[in-house]
Structure 1
Amino acid sequence: MKTLLKEIRGNPLLWLLAFVPVVFGAARFKPEAHTLLFVLSVLAIVPLAALLSHATESVAAKTGDAVGGLLNATLGNLTELVIALAALRAGEYMLVKASVAGAIVTNTLFMLGASFLLGGLKHHTQEFNRVSARMQAGMLFLATIALLVPSAIVEADSGTHAEFTNKLSVGFAVLLIAAYGLGMLFSLKTHRELFGSESHGEEGEEPWPIGLALGVLAGVTVLVALVSEIFVESVQEAAVSFGMTQAFVGFIVVALVGAAAEMASAFSGARKNRLDLSVGIALGSASQIALFVAPVLVLLSYVIGPTPMNLQFWPGAVVMMLVAALTASLVTNSGRSAWFGGVLVLMVYLVFAITLYLLPPGGQATPP
């Protein structure tokens, strides 16, 4: 605990942790002040993300970048899962699908591209484990195909019954979960020698003891989930004040804030020439959402949802996820990166962001 307090005292950014109890108090006594809650929740998530970043690096120093990246992606995705479960109980399936699609696109394009850019600005070229990155990109492409088929069938045949789409979605959900489990078995057990780190990290700060790091990871993840829930509840109303469309909020703003903790770890790893950690967090998080979180939500909708949820996404979301998967596959092909590669990936993301921001309210495509 002394180590943690010393870290907080020595890092001015972590002084913003004072906003964590403030945002909880404001949510209790001023629940109607949506714009205030929006600003306070963002200020609270930033230091929590920095704390989570340091804890993740300490765990990765003990376990290796592959396991560290997987752990960070898993804990980071708990935020999206908590938000999605709350929306699932309320039957807000459009919000669930928007958060899933937005998280996949944001993690694949923004997080990966920014990691390449930030790392490349400090290091001339960087290397990462090509096998690991290609496997994650391949799993992500598999998931986008499974999300594309139900949507394509409904678009092609307007007479398709909802019962057929629901059964198809359940079958695909089971397949995706099985593929994710087998992928973990392959990378962490039977062929783990292929997934060693290629990057050579710089000597940085002394890592925390593993017990403290794991405790901080668990505690901060819970706080991020709670603050993110306040953020999501307030962002819809606050978006009106800032002139943001619902499509932009769901796909861009919610996804960026929800992934803030993961991004802090990924960007820090890239700057320290630990690009395997960055790529593992970005692509690992995206593939985990696509192959595990989304299918689990489909299955849980039969238990806690008012009606079954399917994997039918609206055409615009499917196109963005497919382009993101293809982009990830293209830029990870060589196992090397430079800053301009990150610029290209970020440009693809900005094309989507600008389109969604300027999309007229009446022209927003929504899922069925």
Structure 2
Amino acid sequence: MNPLLKEIRHSPLLWLLVFVPALFAAQKLKPETHTLLFVLSVLAVVPLAALLSHATESVAAKTGDTVGGLLNATLGNLTELVIALTALHAGQHTLVKASIAGAIVTNTLFMLGASFLLGGLKHHVQEYNRASARLQAGLLFLATVAILIPSAVTESDSVAGSAVTETLSVSLSVLLIVVYGLGLLFSLKTHRKFFGGAEHAEAGEAPWPLGLALATLAGVTVLVALVSEVFVESVQQAAVAFGMTPAFVGFIVVALVGGAAEMVSAFSGARKNRLDLSVGIALGSASQIALFVAPVLVLLSYVIGPAPMNLQFWPGAVVMMLIATMTASLMTNGGRSAWFVGVLVLTVYLIFAMTLYLLPPRLQGEGNRPLKQLTTLLPANTR
């Protein structure tokens, strides 16, 4: 416990942990002050993300960057899974799908691009394991194709589309989960030697003991899940006060805050010339959401939801996920990076963000045929 307390005492960023109990107190005493809860939840997530980053780096120092990146992606996605399960239980399928698509695009473009940029500003050229990046990008592309098919079936035959989409979604969900498991077996067991991290890490502080790091990971993940739940409950009302559209909130804001813990770890790894860890977190998290989290939510919707959820996403979301996947595949094909590569990836993300921010909320409804091309960027019933 001493290393943890020492880290908190000497890091001004971790002093923001006082906002965690302040958030829970405000939620209990003034649950109607949504803007205040929104601001407090953002301030509370930042130090928790920093703690999660330090603990993950300590685990990665013992297990290697490949396993460390997978562990961080898993724990980070556990937070998003808890939030999605809450929305799924309430039957808010649109919110669930928006969070899934937004997380995939944000992790693939923003997290990866910012890692390249921050690492490249400190180090002239950085290298990482090209085989690992290509595997994750390939898995992500596969999942995007699987998400594209139910939407294509419904568009081609709207009468029989509903029944076919539900059956197809369940079948594809099982298939994607199996493929994800085989991918883990391939990269961590049968061909593990091809996916080791490049040894370019800088010497830094001594890592925490493994037991303390794992305990911190577990405890902080629970706190992040609780804080994120408050954030999701307050963000829609706070968005109105800040002039943000629902589409921008679901696709950009929720995804950025929900992935804050993973982002801190990825950015820190890139600055320390451990780009394998950063790429593993960014692409590993995105592929895990697409291949595991989304299919699990579809299957669980038959158990905990008021109605089954399918894998049919609105066309605009599928297009953005497909472009994000192709961008990541193209930019990671060489196994080397510099700061301008990060700029290129971030520019694609900013194009999406600007479009969603400027698109008027009135275009988010159904039934206006002349506006069909614009409305396909957004979920039909987001309000």
1:221 partner letter? T
Q: Secondary structure at the match of 1:312?
A: coil
Counterpart of 2:206 in structure 1 is 206
Mapping 1:56-135, distance limit 5 Å:
56-135=56-135
Counterpart of 2:136 in structure 1 is 136
* Contact 2:154–2:162 (8 Å) recurs in 1: no
* 2:185 is the counterpart of 1:172: no
Q: Secondary structure at the match of 2:312?
A: coil
For this pair of structures, how many residues does the alignment match? 368
Counterpart of 1:190 in structure 2 is 190
Provide the C-alpha distance between the structure 1 equivalents of 2:380 and 2:181, rounded to a whole number of angstroms.
28
2:309 partner letter? M
* 2:267 is the counterpart of 1:255: no
Q: 1:181 to 1:367 in 2, by over 3 A?
A: farther
Q: Secondary structure at the match of 2:200?
A: coil
2:355 partner letter? T
What percentage of residue pairs aligned between the two structures are identical? Answer: 79
Show CA shifts across 1:186-225 (max 9, x none): 0000000001111410011110000000000000000000
Counterpart of 1:231 in structure 2 is 231
1:196 partner letter? G
* 2:349 is the counterpart of 1:349: yes
Show CA shifts across 1:14-38 (max 9, x none): 0000000010111111110000000
Residue 178 of structure 1 and its aligned partner are, at CA, apart by 0.4
Counterpart of 2:287 in structure 1 is 287
* Contact 1:23–1:41 (8 Å) recurs in 2: yes
Q: Secondary structure at the match of 1:57?
A: helix
Provide the C-alpha distance between the structure 1 equivalents of 2:180 and 2:239, rounded to a whole number of angstroms.
35
Counterpart of 1:244 in structure 2 is 244
Show CA shifts across 1:72-131 (max 9, x none): 000000111000000000000000000000000000000000000000000000000000
Provide the C-alpha distance between the structure 1 equivalents of 2:343 and 2:157, rounded to a whole number of angstroms.
40
* Contact 1:151–1:312 (8 Å) recurs in 2: yes
1:328 partner letter? A
* Contact 2:41–2:230 (8 Å) recurs in 1: yes
Provide the C-alpha distance between the structure 2 equivalents of 1:33 and 1:70, rounded to a whole number of angstroms.
37
Residue 158 of structure 1 and its aligned partner are, at CA, apart by 2.2
Q: So what's the TM-score if we normalise by structure 1?
A: 0.99
* Contact 2:153–2:161 (8 Å) recurs in 1: no
Counterpart of 1:311 in structure 2 is 311
* Contact 1:312–1:367 (8 Å) recurs in 2: no
Counterpart of 1:15 in structure 2 is 15
* Contact 1:109–1:349 (8 Å) recurs in 2: yes
Counterpart of 1:363 in structure 2 is 363
Mapping 1:261-340, distance limit 5 Å:
261-340=261-340
Provide the C-alpha distance between the structure 2 equivalents of 1:367 and 1:126, rounded to a whole number of angstroms.
42
Provide the C-alpha distance between the structure 1 equivalents of 2:158 and 2:218, rounded to a whole number of angstroms.
46
Residue 161 of structure 1 and its aligned partner are, at CA, apart by 3.5
Counterpart of 1:217 in structure 2 is 217
Residue 153 of structure 1 and its aligned partner are, at CA, apart by 1.5
Counterpart of 1:3 in structure 2 is 3
Show CA shifts across 1:220-242 (max 9, x none): 00000000000000000000000
Counterpart of 2:370 in structure 1 is none
* Contact 1:199–1:275 (8 Å) recurs in 2: no
* Contact 1:97–1:313 (8 Å) recurs in 2: yes
* Contact 1:127–1:199 (8 Å) recurs in 2: no
Residue 2 of structure 1 and its aligned partner are, at CA, apart by 1.4
Show CA shifts across 1:31-82 (max 9, x none): 1000000000000000000000000000000000000000000000011100
Gaps in structure 1 of 5+ consecutive residues:
none
Provide the C-alpha distance between the structure 1 equivalents of 2:138 and 2:351, rounded to a whole number of angstroms.
23
Residue 152 of structure 1 and its aligned partner are, at CA, apart by 1.3
* 2:158 is the counterpart of 1:150: no
Show CA shifts across 1:305-362 (max 9, x none): 1011000000110000000110111011000000000000000000000000001112
* Contact 2:134–2:333 (8 Å) recurs in 1: yes
Gaps in structure 2 of 5+ consecutive residues:
365-377
2:125 partner letter? T
* Contact 1:101–1:251 (8 Å) recurs in 2: yes
Counterpart of 2:371 in structure 1 is none
